[in-house]
Structure 1
Amino acid sequence: MQPAQILHPRPEGLYCPKADLYVDPTRPVARALITHGHSDHARAGHGAVLATAETLAIMGARIGPDFAGSTQSLRYGERVEIGGVTFSLHPAGHVLGSAQALAECGGTRVVVSGDYKRQPDPTCAPFEVVPCDVFITEATFALPVFTHPSAEHEVRKLLASVAMFPERAHVVGAYALGKAQRVMAELVRCGWDKPVYAHGALLEVTKLYQAHGVELGDIRPVETAPKSFYADAIVLGTPSALQTPWVRRFPDPVTCFASGWMRIRARARQRGVELPLVISDHADWCDLQRTIVDTGAGEIWITHGEADALAHWCEGEGLKAKALHLVGYGDEENEGAAA
């Protein structure tokens, strides 16, 4: 069967005509399969939503309990047939509950990656390579300049700065879903045994992670206190909070930002970031290449990001490749990293 008969791009997103189903649609549709809970992929108003239980919980927490007409959860590896097409979800390693979507029909296998990473992350299931004929991938960091160090390396850099400047607070900007919780968990793994203080906008999703058994350490809300109370503290806030008077409640704060975009020094300078932390929940250039090879796919479709650069590399490797240029997908890291 031709891959386009299983999935093909439409203005609403990737569409499966046999199942009358869209993957990560950018506008309300009758039936949607959602790969993960970030707002550029998980929107309200669909008639029916298929996703992992964790993603459904995240959507309920962030959007509200009535985000869809009906919902159905799938465990990783569980298969469901809709209109003659068999769908299953497989770990993407991006955030809690994130999944790749596999669609099988007539002996052809098409995988939609959603957003993904290959680095270890204690807050979510690790990425699983799914062999396929067509691999539909993101390309957020698809340029050779983007090589991400380990999150442990960057968190130890943060801890070294805390030890060097004990009179100052270290305020870390991190996206509310996934990145903030990953920084919390990495701090635990690196031996930080003090409280971590979190902006109120981070608390609901953080509690949801904890309810799903993710160890994040002693997380406390930021409260009104003398500046000296937060000396040598680590504080997590939303990216936008770093640009507001909220930061002034902390003693001589060292402003930090956790994002793959911090690989670009100009980005850090534009935001006045004193300590850039290159921590990304997306695959870097090398891992994008590695994943494409590992899937064994002969055809690569690219949804968003540096699509043309990745397509050029694929063609040099003898693979069919095309950039879909789907409108509506962004980069949750870029919301806070762009000047």
Structure 2
Amino acid sequence: MAEPLLIPRPEGLYCPSGNFYIDPSRPVARALITHGHADHARAGHGHVLATRQTLEIMAIRYGEDFAGQRQAYEGPLSVGGVDVSFHPAGHVLGSAQIAITHRGQRIVASGDYARVANPSCAPFEPVPCDTFITEATFALPVFKHPDPADEMAKLMASMRAAPERPHLVGAYALGKAQRVIMLAREAGYDAPIYIHGALQRLCDYHIEQGIPLGDLRPATMDKAEARALREALVIAPPSAFSSPWVQRFADPVISFASGWMQIRARARQRGVELPLVISDHIDWVDLTRTVREVDPSELWITHGREEALMRWAELEGRVARPLHLVGYEEEPE
């Protein structure tokens, strides 16, 4: 029997023929990385292959010595005799699906992906394959993400209705924060946007990459200045809302931008007054549409709601298997 092209291991997805891992959760000798989020891109590998932007994002987050060696993907190549290519995933800046082909078999590891328009990164590119590995973060029929522009309209309406209260929006440092800023600009908000210090370097990097974020200012003012802030939009990582930093603002409207905000109980648990259902992950409708479009012989499912997608695949007459990989969730920021 021929050796499998890709094997789930405790470290992550392993390709024996090429002797490399895809998005390993532990340090390995050779890693191929789909994107820069901390649950997929970890420091300490011997050699890392990723898009140039993902490598630069990892250097920002972990330091220049985050790996023994690094190689920017610049087109199809062979790794240990296995053909490898990267294709846009539509998730965050630099994100890519990784296609590996060997002995007539092609597997595509999507990493995290999305099908909605996102001006901060290249749109998702469907890649025909024998096996498609999909995330299942929001793989339940209940998850149908609304139009991000409509969610941003809610924020703008709230700011007009309560101009005396600063609006603090929780957003992950890579991707979501810049997406919220760009949505606000597209909605016509041209005033300064204040950002938490944890977002500064990644916002600067997006600007360097030609992504217009407008007038950004640091939300590092002292308590008196913060309490005097009115009609202001402030973006911060979710972790900041459980720190003393948030207490410097007088009567803020607490908001959070996430696909999980569709679950009202989660919003209440976080003390979120204004939930914004804005996600950089695929929802149920787009996930099932993507599987039909790619039309793989096998569907492998990682990190998320595997049971519903397994049942859907069964009803569709598709071969599917859960990989039960651990360590891949939303960023713990």
TM-score, L = length of structure 1:
0.95
Give the equivalent residue in structure 1 for 2:257.
258
CA distance in 2 between counterparts of 1:245 and 1:206 reads 23
Give the equivalent residue in structure 1 for 2:282.
283
Give the equivalent residue in structure 1 for 2:245.
246
Give the equivalent residue in structure 2 for 1:85.
82
CA distance in 1 between counterparts of 2:200 and 2:226 reads 22
Give the equivalent residue in structure 1 for 2:104.
107
User: Post-superposition shift, 1:248?
Assistant: 2.5
- AA matched with 1:213: G
Q: Is the 1:123–1:182 Cα contact (8 Å) retained in structure 2? A: yes
CA distance in 2 between counterparts of 1:309 and 1:331 reads 20
Q: Classify the secondary structure of the residue corresponding to 1:226.
A: helix
CA distance in 1 between counterparts of 2:163 and 2:27 reads 50
Spell out the pairing of 1:14-25 with structure 2 (5 A cutoff). Answer: 14-25=13-24
User: Post-superposition shift, 1:242?
Assistant: 1.3
**What are the Cα deviations for residues 28-59 of structure 1, in whole angstroms up to 9, with x where unaligned?**
11110000001111111111000000000010
Give the equivalent residue in structure 1 for 2:235.
236
Give the equivalent residue in structure 2 for 1:195.
192
Correspondence 1:186 to 2:220: no
CA distance in 2 between counterparts of 1:55 and 1:267 reads 30
Q: Is the 1:52–1:73 Cα contact (8 Å) retained in structure 2? A: yes
Q: Classify the secondary structure of the residue corresponding to 1:286.
A: helix
Q: Is the 1:92–1:98 Cα contact (8 Å) retained in structure 2? A: yes
Q: Is the 1:167–1:251 Cα contact (8 Å) retained in structure 2? A: no
Gap change, CA 1:227 and 1:66, over 3 Å in 2? closer
- AA matched with 2:179: R
Question: Unaligned stretches of 5+ in structure 2?
Answer: none
CA distance in 1 between counterparts of 2:240 and 2:315 reads 43
CA distance in 1 between counterparts of 2:63 and 2:147 reads 34
- AA matched with 1:310: L
Spell out the pairing of 1:20-99 with structure 2 (5 A cutoff). Answer: 20-75=19-74, 78-99=75-96
User: Post-superposition shift, 1:152?
Assistant: 1.1
CA distance in 1 between counterparts of 2:146 and 2:212 reads 23
**What are the Cα deviations for residues 256-313 of structure 1, in whole angstroms up to 9, with x where unaligned?**
0000000000001111100000001100111110111111112100111111221111
Correspondence 1:139 to 2:133: no
Q: Classify the secondary structure of the residue corresponding to 1:316.
A: helix
CA distance in 2 between counterparts of 1:145 and 1:209 reads 33
Q: Is the 2:227–2:248 Cα contact (8 Å) retained in structure 1? A: no
Task: Give me the CA root mean square deviation.
Answer: 1.3
Q: Classify the secondary structure of the residue corresponding to 1:72.
A: strand
- AA matched with 1:266: A
Gap change, CA 1:38 and 1:227, over 3 Å in 2? closer
Q: Classify the secondary structure of the residue corresponding to 2:68.
A: strand
Q: Percent identity?
A: 59
Question: Unaligned stretches of 5+ in structure 1?
Answer: none
Any runs of at least 4 consecutive aligned residues in structure 1 with deviations exceeding 3 A, and if so which?
none
Q: Classify the secondary structure of the residue corresponding to 1:171.
A: strand
Aligned residues: 331
Q: Is the 1:109–1:133 Cα contact (8 Å) retained in structure 2? A: yes
- AA matched with 1:238: P
CA distance in 1 between counterparts of 2:167 and 2:112 reads 29
CA distance in 1 between counterparts of 2:115 and 2:19 reads 31
**What are the Cα deviations for residues 130-184 of structure 1, in whole angstroms up to 9, with x where unaligned?**
1111000100000111110121111111001101111110000111111001001
Correspondence 1:314 to 2:313: yes
**What are the Cα deviations for residues 168-207 of structure 1, in whole angstroms up to 9, with x where unaligned?**
1000011111100100111111111100000101111111
Give the equivalent residue in structure 2 for 1:299.
298
CA distance in 2 between counterparts of 1:111 and 1:58 reads 23
User: More deviation in 162-171 or 307-316?
Assistant: 307-316
